[in-house]
Amino acid sequence: MSYYKHHIFFCTNQRTDGRACCQDHGAQEMRDYLKKKVKEVGLSGPSKIRVNNAGCLDRCGQGPVLVIYPEETWYQYKTKEDIDEIFEQHLKNSLTVSRLVI
């Protein structure tokens, strides 16, 4: 049994050598947005949802990305609406958002 029902890792890596990275697409802002949303509805904490920063997840060409465990579901997102859809469908209803899956 997992400590969290869902554990989300956002790649927030920032490269300084000009190569693509998730932070170039506002990854930290999106991570903060989801974390706040999860807390506001009382879904954060043990046996619920945890939202974390991660270093490079090595999917830079598909970024920005996040991965949700224990399902091991990888998502690409671009907008807050994408994050809202992941929140509503995957985190609240345990449904995969197929159009955003990597």
In a domain? residue 42: yes
Tokens of 37: 């949303």
In a domain? residue 92: yes
In a domain? residue 93: yes
Nearest Cα to 90, choosing from 77, 62, 76, 71?
71
Q: Are 34 and 87 in contact (CB under 8 A)?
A: yes
In a domain? residue 51: yes
CATH number of residue 37's parent domain: 3.40.30.10
pTM given for the model: 0.93
**Residue span of the structural domain in which 19 resides:** 6-97
In a domain? residue 1: no
Per-residue pLDDT of the chain (102 residues; tens, 9 = 90+): 679 999 999 999 988 888 888 998 999 999 999 999 999 999 999 999 999 999 999 987 888 999 999 999 999 999 999 999 999 999 999 999 999 999
Q: Are 28 and 53 in contact (CB under 8 A)?
A: yes
Q: Are 11 and 59 in contact (CB under 8 A)?
A: yes
